[in-house]
Chain A
Amino acid sequence: MTLLLDSAKKSTVDVRPTRPRLGPGRAIPYGRVLGPVVVLAAWWGASAGGLFDPRLLPAPDTVLAAALDLIERGTLQDSLLVSLQRAGIGFSIGATVGIVLALLAGLSRSGEAVVDGWMQVQRSVPTLGLIPLMILWLGIGETFKVVIIAIVVAIIIYIQTYAGLTGIDSRYVELAETVDLSRARFIRLVVLPGALPGLFVGLRLAVTGSWLSLVVLEQINATSGIGYLMFQAQNYAQTEVIVVYGLFGFVSDGLLRLVERKVLAWRSTLSG
Chain B
Amino acid sequence: MALDTQRVTTPAVRVRDLVRGFGSTAVLRGLDLDIAPGQFVALLGRSGSGKSTLLRALAGLDRGVAGTGEIDVPDQVAVVFQDSRLLPWQRVLPNVVIGLDGPNADRLGRDALAEVGLAGRERAWPRELSGGEQQRVALARSLVREPALLLADEPFGALDALTRIRMHALLRELCQRHGPAVLLVTHDVDEAIVLADRVVVLVDGAIAVDRPIELAQPRSHRDPAFLSYRYELLTALGVDAE
Contact = CB atoms under 8 A, between A and B. Distances in A.
A195 to B, nearest CB: 11
Given A266-B90, A267-B88, A267-B89, 16 more contacts: A171-B83, A172-B85, A178-B77, A178-B78, A178-B79, A179-B98, A179-B145, A181-B98, A189-B90, A189-B98, A193-B90, A194-B89, A196-B89, A266-B89, A266-B125, A268-B127
B62 to A, nearest CB: 11
Given A174-B61, A178-B78, A266-B88, A185 B127 contact: no
A180 interface: yes
A174 B126 CA distance: 18
A175 interface: yes
A268 B127 CA distance: 9
Interface in A255-272: 264-268
A266 B141 CA distance: 20
A181 B99 contact: yes
A227 B208 CA distance: 78
B215 interface: no
Contacts of B79: 178
A196 B88 CA distance: 12
Interface string B97-134: 01100000000000000000000000001110000000
B239 interface: no
Interface residues of B, number: 20
Interface in B61-84: 61, 77-79, 81, 83
A69 interface: no
A185 B99 contact: yes
Nearest to B80: A178
Contacts of B89: 193-194, 196, 264, 266-267
Contacts of A196: 89
Contacts of B99: 176, 179-181, 185
Contacts of A264: 89
A242 B171 CA distance: 68
Interface string A147-190: 00000000000000000000000011011111111000100011
B197 to A, nearest CB: 24
B61 A179 contact: no
13 contacts: A171-B83, A176-B99, A177-B60, A178-B59, A179-B99, A180-B99, A181-B99, A185-B99, A189-B90, A193-B89, A265-B125, A266-B125, A266-B127
A194 B87 CA distance: 9
B98 A178 contact: no
Nearest to B99: A179
A177 B88 CA distance: 17
Nearest to B77: A178
A179 B127 contact: no
Interface in A122-142: none
Nearest to B138: A175
B87 A179 contact: no
Contacts of A266: 88-90, 125-127
A267 B90 CA distance: 11
Contacts of A190: 87
A172 B141 contact: no
B87 A172 contact: yes
B151 to A, nearest CB: 9
Contacts of A175: 81, 85, 87
A193 B59 contact: no
Contacts of B60: 177
A196 B78 CA distance: 28
B83, B87, B90, B145: which has the most chain A beta carbons within 10 Å?
B87
A264 B99 CA distance: 22
Interface string B151-177: 000000000000000000000000000
B85 A171 contact: yes
Nearest to A177: B61
Interface in B176-231: none
A122 B81 CA distance: 42
